Structure 1
């Protein structure tokens, strides 16, 4: 094999002179970064949800999605850049989340039945005062967002809260308690009320007991209340769902109007017609589990424990309109025994949740578009109209959760598309058969025109509709998407982590007819990291600018982060610059280098995210708001996602020997590690089974090009005695590649090792090295060739022919396993020729250097060229080769060209300016070695075990950062002197870290951490230097809400008439009437609240301390008079201050102010009426007392005359 050493090993035989001493060759690479004031820990963001998802709700007025967790946190998601986390006090599991859209309130109920009411239009003054400077001092972390909404109400329920109901029409929050009663909480005065609805099902159960009905509940049984829903067109009517049935309750009359209970008569097949005859021929009670109003308000549907759905007319409580299951109808009609079906789907699971959605009427624009489409002979406009309105002819959609047979997986949601509800003329006709005609029409409207289904990967546990704008109809009017909460996927590997228990999917709504009835929409990043998307590992790296442009050039034009890009969501995010001014944001963005975050997940996917600094600094200029951020941080690069699990289980790959085990046991498909070559944009995904998949970026990347017949023959040549039917080492994945896509395309699957690799390394020239124990395999991913196979005992042919020195190296290698590998283009002590090297380190500290040469046939050849002992044992934290300036000597194509030129040069020359050092960082110490395999010349140690380390490059200075669990150690290069020690902090509101976290540190000084709960946190080492931090959030961005159902011009006329009338106690609206009935005349006074926030353009010449100013701040410098001064403490003074801001606002804001004044006048007149009533009562009492005194005096005088 002497021909192989002709170029690379030429210097070994030449016996060249050693380089001059290090003192004459090395300088100080750290420079000005020896200043300790430059270093401070900074907590930037948490990218995952703590705990599991426990509650969710959507607010359509401003467009906010709220998600509660078991850790007591509530996460708000708005526009792509708006994301905020709130922590309840105390931090208990969130049970319910509700929104009141007209007053911008968010109500959170925890597992201890504590109510927390937040006002999204007001900023928390305590958080603003504590964190007004936007960040804490160096060395201290800031965990509370200064833009958090204000908590304006707290309340503790007297019993366990089972359900809650709130509407935008009145100010009451109804709480259904575990004793079956309903209480009301005042959301305008933020206090409890004396109003209570008793358990209305007590009387129904007592009737059953007195009637001696079989299986009647015991007197010790307490009927639970399951749900409360307000009538869609009359806020004074409530539909209460109990265990036994439903009750329609009138708030105005304070009585139950109708009671509904489903009883299956003897002979009715019911949901299980194949049940025993004794059960079928007996009367059966069907407990209720869910309810939902029809949008018209004349009907409602009730779900039952046996999987049945019963539809009722609100005026007919004796007989339902229809009783059905998901598959059969009229299951309540008795039939003869011989007509009963012999087989059925079996028992069904209960109906867990129901929603009945409506859609807006067709407007002139939609009608014209549909007509134009029909004239043009194209169905595009008609299809779009149907897609927007969901159901032909403006019908309704009933969404059902549950009701599937128990022996089938409950991995779907069913939707019933109904025709339009009959007009009101059916119910107002005076004919004798009007009632029968109306019942028939209502029954016909319950015949579905189409039944759709949403298929999920795991069991559906909850869902939430996302309306476009309207908060009325219980949040079910005109939804554009449906958010589905799913359980743990049994087909995936099991992890003992809370985040895997529940995940989320979001789909377009409603589903349409056809093969592609719905589309999967995008989720905000923290929600995508839950459930199936639980993170298994991550890596953050700085990317060259040219490669970064290739990665992001095909990204979607609309920013991902919202549910649907054409549906606006609430909030505005403005950039924040720490330790600098906003005017410096452009310069800071130009100095920063692009970064990419790679995450691999439980569902077998690898996702790439843009975490570049400019995302937090640059945005779009707005004339009124200033600079507004557009792209979220991080930004999802969905076009670069690697679907590893789908590629392995693709039908076209069935029958491949290498994939047989994975296809038979798909639960074994779990990603162990991902490596990316950023210069060549190639990726290798390693599985825990030992398989490795190679990907390359599309759009111009040529992989596995056509080779000559001689190369093919060499690849097929076998040099061992293994049988011919063994598993193929390379399995081509080219049939799965989409060459038109610009994302990563699958190239090959490699089966190189018998198990999961202990370590691996990827170069930018196509070579991939992996090790299993003492076995080493180096493969060429581009030509599908094995370059080196060592340590296996039967294929180390090249090394056996290189002499006694190589034999001693092999003997040392066999005594320990391989624990690290590193590709580099460098020189060594014994070989001064620049060449591609692979450094292979073992647990006993022994290092073998492999050298590689690229032949004329585009194939690689490698051999052992050197070896050394580091003098340290164990697994290192970080190993790399650096050049004479401190730059990392990576194995890129550019460095390979330099190496080929150096190898072609005649003679051996010692270059004192081109030498290389080996840096090895172990848990407690770091060492530097001269010329890679030379003598150790620098060493440093520290007390805490290191978790990660990296060479940091800032402003042409380089230093070594070592991160431990409690400290960050900064060491100078190349002397390894200790520069500074930074104390680390753990967020106090997060879970206790029980296991050692995994940390990925990149060369700009930021690092990402994965804790034992799979929590992903982003930190920085340079918290005291100017940098972009998390943006300032402005949550109060209201939109004009539609009027409540039934409200129109008559409602406004009545309001104005009551305002101008002489009656002081007359209410302004139906909602005010409900408030008066529930709270009475002794209602508490309005609490003093700070004014709502307004958004103003920042002054770019001042530090960006607060971009949010409160209402009335603009009038601070305006001329004032004595009237303003005297009224400053009253509501009139606050009105005068608000008027200056509202003068330039929209008409909607002016209308809101007018309505506030109307309500205030109503309150004043009510107080005046109460005062007059008290005065009248006092006058009457005075008159009675005076009359009695006069009668007594007259009686005494009369008696004296007789004496």
Structure 2
């Protein structure tokens, strides 16, 4: 009787109706260990191993080389080292159990064996042989054969105990009970037969072949000597023996440094065990010498609380043609004053080369160190320069990364230093720095007065300031024209991450599937994700600019924490929103050769930043800053040059092509005539802002629209129009209003085409279409999602199409996204119950519920293809420790982790460094007096004992030798032809057998036919006889 006129909308979710149309999965997982316990570096193969406190080992190598190992028990990894000679990873855990991993196994390293020891205190390996030295708390040194995988019979007793027993009659007091504890064992850098054992009481040099003690060094501070604590020590008038805490050998092998518990460092010559060469602290020298005047002057001062020397390394570099080496670097962890406010970090001293000439008066048969050589050693210990690595937390350990050689304990020619730093929540993170500091390698050049021209000072000011900017990025990136171009298959993807570090507040990574394309001939050539260092946004230059300091709050300058960031896909303009309320817009550099000068803006809220210098290899530079002194509640940037920033009860719209403020709301109209009066919904607060170029009901023309969502559920549509009196644009005074959904989610407003479901954004293409008459039947819809549900509307301001409520059992919805698959679209809501709710469009019918395979969905972000990224944060340290890259549609995705074959990079260990002379090589009397070095094979025979089994030979490499390719092909061809001939003969035999079977079946058929005919004849005869009565 009555006809209801209702618009029928096309179903945009045709191919997403069933749960089978979705396939939730994690494509890649990334772990970031925060409980780092130790590190190990293999420079030849390029491997880095990280041991954690939970019993896991992470191995990193070249491009996409990453694997994770687990100990049999989740206990702390105490020591971790690579065995270059056997290509193994050796681990000693907190329970003194030794674990050997074979790095040559395909796929991932394999645990081959484990062995238990009694209370181990150190682990020492050498790249020249296959035995490990393990020091025990009892003072004994045990050996383990890594090639035969067994404990060797060779043992070293507690040599310090034997030394004390031997010298007990000459000692002035009894040693401390803990003086026999072994701290560290170090192989002589140029003689494998010599082993340094650092006990808590002193240093022992042992001859492995002769099984005896060659030297013993013990530091005894005389009464009155300040030592590490200074003259205020309560026991300064007594003999003191500080405990040994660290040891480092000079690369030449003739003297070494020892760190002690009182914070002092003693240098000893190998040929003089009676008197140290020099005893210092980080700020004093000759602290083992008694100065009566200083003692009397500072006797009543309190002692200086100084850290023990925790670790020492002595590095040499390829900077000298002398076989004794050139300048060296001594890296010191510890020894700092433990006063409140003192800086945290570690020191590096740049020491002169030890290249003395021939003594003027040779000592002849003198057994002790020649005075000339002693003086030369002391001169080589006076630092030429020093450097302090400041760290954000207390450094716990450090590790040097050598360039290519594993010799000299892995300290030769290092290129980087990795520092384990104590972080929040009792965690440890790794900080990486360049090593050695650049100031050590580049001599300082003093400018002369003739070189400086008066006129060039002003001209070169900009370049001078640019040279002072700091940039840690080693590469220069050439940015493509757009980051959002498409391919017929998998489109490239860019990941943007936020960080607390101002030097890298925003970082970009390439996570495209194209990075994982490989073949048998061409392995993977890129890391995944691939860092894009040229796009990194550095805030340091911004925070120190005078114009920024003048206009911003102190909290922004002291702690600039990024709250959110948004990137315009086409214009590549990036807006950064800070917790303190400031908003900064970055854009690509236009002309880096001619940076503009500082200009004042006509708006109080805006600060021009085009004059701020940025690093040469940085592609982003600051454009302008927006500051109002209020916290930001919403922010939106478009590809056509407009920025909208919402506050609790105010709104600012910026035309970025000025920049200028084109619209304000919420300020006092008496102070600003451009302000508009507050609407009733303004007091609710703005939570959502969205730019689009679309039509609305009763306005079929495409125009630039800004959709403002309020907490109460009201929404306003602001239209940008051209100003009749100027070429600029302004906000139309007629503002449309519509009731939507309460508490709209940030990024939860979508404008879609009603026919195909494609998103309608404020793009350049849409803006170009708005200059022409809009074709008829051009309609759109708005989908807005909030914390309680979602609504869809026709033509933005038209009638409501559908609504849905999330329900109480679903949990809290954190974020929403409209995803697309094969032309079909669906609204997906992600909840804190680790679920994803899918709804149809435009009628918002519940399609299915998917379980999220991630522990923390609060930080999950999803794009329109269904790919998502979720991060799990360590609550104690507030640092991300795990990230997952997944998708809603895991169908034929190419993100499977690659197979790893470390055997391809199996290292070829260079020859063991040989002993060098004290003086020039022509001085025969100054050669190392303990004899020539033995080879690693000889040492393995010595340590392995007479019953050492013959080691099994392992494959050399997984690669094929090019010279043997032809023979291998011929062999394969021969095998192939033989196989074919066998198959042909088998086929022939099969045919013959089938023929015989056919003949037999034919004969059986004929016999059966004759039998049937004969039976019929006999039956007929019997019937005839019965008929005639015969």
Give the 3 Å change call, closer, same or farther, for CA 759–156 of structure 1 in structure 2. farther
- Which residue in the other structure is 2:398 paired with? 463
1:1038 to 873, 887, 906: 906
Give the structure 1 partner of residue 53 of structure 2.
70
The aligned counterpart of 1:839 is 707
Distance 1:205 1:935 in 2: 96
Matches of 2:421 and 2:90 in 1, distance apart? Answer: 24
Correspondence for 1:746: 622
Q: Distance in 2 between matches of 1:1095 and 1:864?
A: 74
Q: 2:491 aligns with which of 576, 593, 610?
A: 593
Counterpart of 2:889 (choices 1004, 1008, 1022) is: 1022
Which residue of structure 2 lines up, in the alignment, with residue 959 of structure 1?
826
Q: Is residue 848 from structure 1 mapped to residue 716 from structure 2 by the alignment?
A: yes
**Residue 221 (structure 2) aligns with:** 264
Please give the residue correspondences for 1:509-908 in structure 2 after superposition, counting only pairs within 5 Å: 509=436, 511-514=440-443, 546-548=481-483, 591-604=489-502, 605-618=504-517, 626-650=521-545, 652-653=546-547, 656-663=550-557, 666=558, 668-699=559-590, 715=602, 728-738=604-614, 743-755=619-631, 757-791=632-666, 794=669, 810-814=679-683, 816-855=684-723, 856-863=726-733, 865-873=735-743, 875=745, 878-884=748-754, 885-902=756-773
Q: Distance in 2 between matches of 1:122 and 1:707?
A: 61
Once the two structures are TM-superposed, the CA of residue 465 in structure 1 deviates from its matched residue by: 1.8
1:411, distance to aligned residue in structure 2 (A): 2.4
Cα 1:1039–1:1045 shift into 2, 3 Å: same
> What is the aligned partner in structure 1 of residue 795 from structure 2?
931
Query: In structure 2, the residue corresponding to 1:1027 is in which secondary structure?
Result: coil
Which structure shows the higher helix fraction? 1
Q: Are 2:286 and 1:415 equivalent residues in the alignment?
A: no
**Corresponding residue for residue 152 of structure 1:** 112
Q: Is the partner of 1:774 in helix, strand or coil?
A: coil
- In 2, the alpha carbon distance for the partners of 1:1119 and 1:78 equals 38
Whether the 8 Å CA contact 1:427–1:434 is kept in 2: the answer is: no
Deviation, 1:284, is 2.0
Asked whether the equivalents of residues 127 and 909 of structure 2 are also in contact (C-alpha less than 8 Å), the reply is no
Q: Deviations over 1:11-45 (max 9, x none)?
A: xxxxxxxx99542xx43444555575553233232
* Alpha-carbon contact 2:608-2:625 (below 8 Å) kept: yes
Q: Secondary structure at the match of 2:958?
A: strand
* Cα drift, residue 199 of structure 1: 3.6
Q: Which residue of 2 aligns with 1:485?
A: 420
- Going from structure 1 to structure 2, the CA distance change for 1:232 and 1:607 (only over 3 Å counts) comes to same
Residues 517 and 935 of structure 1: CA distance in aligned 2, closer, same or farther (over 3 Å): closer
Q: Per-residue deviation at 1:49? A: 0.8
From the superposition, tell whether residues 781 and 357 of structure 1 become closer, same or farther in structure 2 (CA, over 3 Å): same
Q: Which runs of structure 2 are paired with 1:788-1187 in the superposition (5 Å)? A: 788-791=663-666, 794=669, 810-814=679-683, 816-855=684-723, 856-863=726-733, 865-873=735-743, 875=745, 878-884=748-754, 885-902=756-773, 911-912=776-777, 914-922=778-786, 925-939=789-803, 944-945=810-811, 946-964=813-831, 965-978=833-846, 981-986=849-854, 993=855, 996-1013=857-874, 1014=880, 1015-1036=882-903, 1037-1046=905-914, 1070-1083=935-948, 1086=951, 1091=955, 1094-1095=958-959
Residue number in structure 2 paired with 1:308 = 264
Quick one: structure 1 residues 1019 and 796, their matched pair in 2 at CA, closer, same or farther if it must change by over 3 Å?
A: farther
Distance in 2, Cα, partners of 1:869 & 1:320? 85
Q: Match for residue 451 of structure 1?
A: 385
Cα pair distance change 1:612/1:30, threshold 3 Å: farther
- Is 1:332 equivalent to 2:199 in the alignment? no
SS in 2 for 1:116: strand
Indicate if the aligned counterparts of 1:100 and 1:167 stay in contact, CA closer than 8 A. Answer: yes
- Maintained 8 Å contact 2:689/2:746: no
CA distance in 2, matches of 1:154, 1:589: 51
Q: Quickly say closer, same or farther: Cα 1:981–1:673, change in 2 above 3 A.
A: same
**1032 and 1003 in structure 1: CA distance in 2 versus 1, 3 angstrom threshold:** farther
Deviation at 1:1009, TM superposition (A): 0.5
Q: Deviations over 1:1056-1076 (max 9, x none)?
A: xxxxxxxxxxxx974344434
Distance 1:823 1:213, change over 3 A: farther
| Distance in 2, Cα, partners of 1:392 & 1:183 | 32
Q: Are residues 472 and 1038 of structure 1, via their aligned partners in 2, closer, same or farther at CA, if it must alter by over 3 Å?
A: same
Report if the CA contact (8 A) 1:970-1:978 is conserved.
yes
Distance change (3 Å), C-alpha of 1:245 and 1:997: farther
Structure 1 residue ranges without an equivalent (≥5): 1-18, 124-146, 364-388, 489-495, 525-543, 551-587, 717-727, 903-908, 987-992, 1049-1067, 1098-1108, 1121-1203
Q: 2: distance between equivalents of 1:411 and 1:163?
A: 24
Q: What CA distance in whole angstroms lies between the structure 1 residues aligned with 2:250 and 2:594?
A: 59
Q: Give the match for residue 370 of structure 2.
A: 436
Q: Is the 8 A contact 2:484 2:570 kept in 1?
A: no
TM-fit CA distance, 1:915? 1.4
Offset of 1:316 from its aligned partner? Answer: 2.2
Matching residue of 2:990: none
State how many pairs are aligned: 908
1:64 CA drift (Å): 1.0
Highest CA radius of gyration, 1 or 2?
2
Per the TM alignment, residue 303 of structure 1 is displaced from its structure 2 partner at its CA by 1.0
Distance 2:820 2:898 in 1: 26
TM-score using structure 2 length: 0.79
Gaps of 5+ in 2: 445-466, 875-879, 917-932, 977-1030
Name the structure 1 match of 2:1011: none
Q: Aligned partners of 1:1045 and 1:175: how far apart in 2?
A: 23
Displacement after TM superposition at 1:497 (Å): 5.6
Whole-angstrom distance in 1 between the partners of 2:792 and 2:361: 90
Match of 2:364, SS state, is coil
Distance 1:865 1:314 in 2: 88
Provide closer, same or farther for how the CA distance between residues 59 and 519 of structure 1 changes in structure 2, counting only shifts above 3 A: farther
Contact 1:467 1:477 in 2 (8 A): yes
| Shift in Å, 1:1027 | 2.9
Question: Structure 1 residues 1084, 894: CA separation in 2 closer, same or farther (over 3 Å shift)?
Answer: same
Matched, 1:97 2:80: yes
Contact 1:53 1:69 in 2 (8 A): yes
Counterparts of 1:823 and 1:701, CA distance in 2: 31
**Cα distance change of structure 1 residues 1043 and 655 upon mapping to structure 2, 3 Å threshold:** closer
Q: Deviation at 1:475? A: 1.0
Q: Once the 2 structures are TM-superposed, how far is the Cα of residue 1077 of structure 1 from its aligned partner?
A: 4.0
Asked if 1:508 is matched to 2:435, the reply is yes
Instruction: Find the aligned partners of 1:1094 and 1:37 in 2 and give their Cα distance.
Output: 42
Aligned mates of 1:447, 1:522 — CA distance in 2: 34
Contact conserved, 1:593 with 1:612, CA < 8 A, in 2?
Answer: no
CA distance in 2 between partners of 1:1118 and 1:1090 (Å):
27
The CA distance in 1 between the partners of 2:270 and 2:212, in whole Å, is: 15
Separation in 1, partners of 2:380, 2:30: 45
Q: CA deviation at 1:442?
A: 4.6
Q: Distance in 2 between matches of 1:316 and 1:454?
A: 32
Q: 2: CA distance between counterparts of 1:31 and 1:1113?
A: 54
CA contact (8 A) 1:419 1:445 kept: no
- CA gap of 1:598–1:424, structure 2 versus 1, over 3 A, is farther
Within 1, Cα distance between the matches of 2:112 and 2:688?
56
Provide closer, same or farther for how the CA distance between residues 775 and 830 of structure 1 changes in structure 2, counting only shifts above 3 A. Answer: same
Report the secondary structure of 1:109's partner residue.
strand
2:90 aligned residue (94, 104, 107) = 107
What's the CA shift for 1:740? 6.5
Residue 948 of structure 1 and its aligned partner are, at CA, apart by 3.2
Q: Structure 1 pair 697/1117, CA: closer, same or farther in 2 (3 Å)?
A: same
- Contact 1:469–1:1041 (Cα < 8 Å) also in 2: no
